[in-house]
Amino acid sequence: MRNLIIAVIVVVLSSCTTEQEQKKTTPEVRFIPGTTVDFTFDSNGLTLSGIFDTPAKNVSEALIIFVHGYGGSDIRGRNSYADLRQRFNEIGIATAVWDKPGQGQSEGAFDINQSVFSSAEEVLDAVSYLRQVNAPGSDRIGIWGISRAGWIAPIALSTDSNINFWISVSGTTAEDNFSYLLLSNLPHEGGTVEQAEKLAEEWRAGCNIFRSGGSFDLYQSATQQLRANEYIKQMRGEWQSRAQYEAQQLACNAGTCANIDDDMCSYVFIENFEAMLSSLEVDTLAIFGERDLNVDWHKTSKMYQATIGQNPKASLVVASFEDADHNLHVSETGSIREMQNMKSPIKSDGYYDVQLKWLLETVLESGSSN
């Protein structure tokens, strides 16, 4: 009998310890109308830290998850997306955003080249956690994402069919945008449009030689001006040596070329990306700046229209702003140099209105079409 009592005590103590550990790792969050609170959740073995905005209204009609673009994050120090968070809250939509691993108050080491699949897992884990704690608006969750999030959001959306809507800002093409970025910015870095076109021809020729099994010498001959350009070299780094070229070509023959496109040999992050987009049954608003020199917005827009836009179980609205750069700031050139030198950037006129109007008409009033 004494041994039984001891065993019961041990079980009870173990249960209490487990509950205490859970409370320590996932502290209770009180979502109070009109306030911003901290929250944490676990993803990929790390505890990530975020902030949650609850609208002043008694009932939050939806919840928008913000997904960062390329680079670091500091959501508290920069008050990230404050302009949108406030506007979304005013129409009854709660918002959540967190720091990337190793940034802000999130655990881990920052990896600027973090896999888009790892980032998508963060989105799914955040969504799961916010549903679990019954966060305001969590019965209708959508994603707002910029740039690199154009790869991350579709992965999450295709995995969790209960994520209802997507606002894509400066979304990505199927392949990496690096070659487009370099060549489109060249005329603003001492080059000319004609020179950029010539270098693009060499880039394509070199890609074709590499993929078709052409020799290193032939590749070198076809890309002389491209490899000699100081701006390209500065941004891209040194070009591959003979040994590197031949090793990469052997790997290509073994199957790695499935991860690069046929045009500029750009890296393809998601296999069958267009098929993934075609399968999404979500309401989507795609926003572009027509002076975007970071991503090929024309190509992305056409891709969305040919995929999401053709799905009868989805809806697509595309809005573009003729004076806007990659960040949807009013810009004369859209170049990286101008973006970096902006002192007081201003969003393009209508940038906020188109989002609020779409949310009111598509998400809040009529609800999701699914």
Domains of the chain in sequence order: 36-174+269-365 (3.40.50.1820), 178-259 (no CATH)
Predicted pLDDT of residue 255? 82
Which among 226, 185, 231 is positioned nearest to 207, based on CA atoms?
Answer: 226
Alpha-carbon distance of 251 to 236, in angstroms, equals 21
Q: What is the pLDDT along the chain (370 residues), one digit of tens a residue?
A: 444 444 433 333 344 444 444 444 557 889 999 999 999 999 999 999 999 999 998 889 999 999 999 999 999 999 999 999 999 999 999 999 999 999 999 999 999 999 999 999 999 999 999 999 999 999 999 999 999 999 999 999 999 999 999 999 999 999 999 999 999 999 999 999 999 999 999 999 999 999 999 999 999 999 999 999 999 999 988 899 999 999 999 998 888 888 899 999 999 999 999 999 999 999 999 999 999 999 999 999 999 999 999 999 999 999 999 999 999 999 999 999 999 999 999 999 999 999 999 999 999 975 444 4
Structure tokens at 312: 């009868």
Whole-number pLDDT of residue 340: 94
Cα end-to-end distance, the chain, whole Å: 60
Question: Which H or E run contains 338?
Answer: helix 336-341
User: What residues pair up with 285 in beta bridges, in sequence order?
Assistant: 167, 317
Find out whether 111 and 33 touch, Cβ atoms under 8 Å: no
Biggest alpha carbon distance in the chain?
A: 91
Rounded to whole angstroms, how far apart are CA atoms 223 and 137?
Answer: 54
pLDDT number for residue 370 = 44
DSSP state of 188: G
For residue 26, what pLDDT is reported? 59
- Kindly write down the DSSP assignment for every residue of 94-137, as one continuous string: EEEEEPPTTSTT--S---TT--HHHHHHHHHHHHHHHHHTT-TT
Using CA atoms of 322, 324, 328, 330 in order, give the dihedral in degrees to the nearest 10.
-130
Q: What are the angstrom distances between the C-alpha of 342 and each of 100, 279, 330, 332, 334?
A: 25, 39, 10, 11, 11
Instruction: Tell me the C-alpha distance between 63 and 129, whole Å.
Output: 13
Q: How far apart are CA 1 and CA 7, in angstroms?
A: 10
